[in-house]
């Protein structure tokens, strides 16, 4: 059974341990920061530290802003020093932030902690994505990077809901330390995964040969500044389109008659469909090419947005959720596979950092545009804007044929 699972993964058996240790470190790092800024501080800050809601919200923005600004530098440092030492530094800084948090007395102290935490976190995403793609077989990079992202996402949701519930329960019982201790434990766990064998980027030796992944891979295809210039705005648009709905989704569900339970079922159908099809979609992107798979995914997501903008009957939302789930399962490996194949192996971590900075800009701007579209055009507005964005991206990828 274990042997079959290992064979199904996109990494050679000799490199699986290193990759999954790196993924585990990022999983717990995301768990901690989501729990701290999204669930714990909104309750703990005003009631225990005496900080107002504005200070707490600003800490959230400062942390993610620092992470966004520093990701390019973080990727460069990973390429120069390797992921492991930077992951050790990030883990130690995270533990320091958690241990200092209960003693924060002013908003400025909280902002400083949030900024330092964001900078220390910044190398992890480009480093882990580089490790995952560089250690995959040349024809498995789309599936490898998709597996990596989808393994991490559940920790974000579990942290937001779990730490939020623990913090809320602790406030009611007068035991505010329960959620904090959970975060400290989660912050310490990466230490266990950082022990052991040496980590390397793009030079992990396969068990079956004495050559490195870099030596075994085909020559790096031509990379141009023009290609990166096209990738960056599209990276912004993709995350912008996917985050348009975050501030209005619950309000839309209520107005459309779905309610909270209906919304949860719709999200569950979409996410479940994406997870179920991800492995097959990743193989398709690796075998048939990343760009056509990406284009098909963008078309399906755009159609989903357009159908919702028509305000269909309730039953249709569940079918549309499945359609968008299929689209997302195609878009993710298509996009990640395209990026992984276009980035020069020698500079891959640095370029991943640049791409992820652009993605974070889209994540930051998306909710603002979604809220504006709702106010300006009503409940159809964010979906019309989303459909337009995905149409533009589809046209870009139809006519732009990168050399990968």
- What does the pLDDT look like over 199-222, one tens digit per residue? 554 443 333 333 333 344 444 444
Percentages (nearest 5) of helix, strand, coil residues in the chain: 80, 0, 15
**pLDDT over 60 at 91, yes or no:** yes
**pLDDT value for 210:** 32
- Give the model's confidence band at 100: pLDDT under 50 very low, under 70 low, under 90 confident, else very high: very high
**pLDDT value for 30:** 92
**pLDDT value for 358:** 82
The contacts of residue 269 (CB under 8 Å, 6+ apart) are: 318, 321, 322, 325
**pLDDT value for 288:** 82
**pLDDT over 60 at 253, yes or no:** yes
Stretch 158-187: mean pLDDT, rounded?
A: 78
Stretch 233-259: mean pLDDT, rounded?
A: 81
- Give the model's confidence band at 324: pLDDT under 50 very low, under 70 low, under 90 confident, else very high: very high
- Give the model's confidence band at 175: pLDDT under 50 very low, under 70 low, under 90 confident, else very high: low
Q: How far apart are the first and last CA of the chain?
A: 36
Which domains, from first to last, does the chain contain?
Answer: 2-194 (1.20.1250.20), 223-399 (1.20.1250.20)
Distance of CA 219 to the CA centre of its chain: 29
pTM of the model: 0.75
Query: Coil, strand or helix: which one is 13?
Result: helix
Stretch 336-352: mean pLDDT, rounded?
A: 74
Are 310 and 254 in contact by the 8 Å Cβ rule? The answer is no
Cα–Cα distance measured from residue 197 to residue 351, given in angstroms and rounded to the nearest whole number? 26
**pLDDT value for 306:** 95
**pLDDT value for 173:** 65
Nearest CA to 331 out of 284, 366, 287 is that of 284
Stretch 353-375: mean pLDDT, rounded?
A: 82
């Amino acid at each position: 059974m274990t042997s079959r699972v290992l064979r199904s993964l996109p990494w050679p058996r000799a490199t699986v341990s290193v990759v999954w240790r790196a993924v585990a470190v990022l999983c717990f790092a995301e768990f901690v920061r989501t729990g701290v800024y999204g669930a714990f501080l909104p309750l703990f800050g005003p009631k225990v530290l005496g900080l107002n809601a504005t200070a707490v919200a600003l800490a959230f923005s400062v942390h993610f802003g620092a992470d966004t600004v520093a990701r390019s530098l973080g990727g460069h440092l990973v390429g120069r020093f390797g992921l492991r030492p930077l992951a050790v530094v990030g883990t130690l800084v995270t533990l320091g932030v958690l241990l200092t948090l209960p003693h924060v007395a002013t908003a400025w102290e909280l902002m400083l902690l949030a900024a330092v935490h964001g900078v220390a976190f910044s190398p992890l995403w480009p480093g882990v994505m580089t490790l995952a793609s560089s250690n995959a077989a040349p024809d498995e990079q789309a599936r490898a990077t998709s597996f990596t992202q989808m393994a991490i996402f559940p920790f974000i949701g579990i942290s937001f809901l779990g730490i939020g519930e623990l913090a809320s329960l602790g406030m009611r019982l007068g035991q505010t330390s329960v959620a904090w201790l959970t975060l400290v434990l989660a912050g310490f766990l990466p230490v266990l995964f950082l022990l052991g064998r040496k980590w390397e980027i793009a030079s992990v030796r396969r068990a079956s040969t004495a050559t490195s992944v870099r030596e075994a891979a085909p020559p790096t295809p031509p990379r141009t500044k023009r290609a990166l210039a096209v990738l960056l705005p599209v990276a912004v648009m993709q995350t912008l389109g996917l985050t348009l709905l975050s501030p209005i989704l619950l309000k839309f569900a209520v107005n459309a008659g779905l309610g909270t339970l209906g919304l949860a079922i719709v999200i569950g159908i979409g996410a479940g469909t994406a997870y179920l099809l991800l492995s097959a979609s990743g193989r398709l992107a690796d075998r048939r090419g990343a760009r056509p798979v990406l284009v098909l995914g963008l078309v399906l997501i755009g159609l989903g947005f357009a159908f919702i903008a028509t305000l269909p009957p309730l039953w249709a939302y569940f079918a549309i959720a499945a359609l968008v789930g299929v689209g997302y399962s195609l878009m993710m490996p298509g996009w990640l596979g395209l990026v992984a194949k276009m980035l020069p192996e020698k500079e891959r971590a640095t370029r991943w950092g640049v791409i992820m900075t652009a993605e974070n800009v889209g994540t930051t701007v998306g909710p603002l545009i979604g809220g504006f579209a709702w106010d300006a055009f009503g409940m159809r507005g964010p979906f019309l804007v989303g459909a337009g964005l995905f149409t533009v991206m589809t046209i870009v990828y139809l006519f732009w044929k990168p050399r990968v």
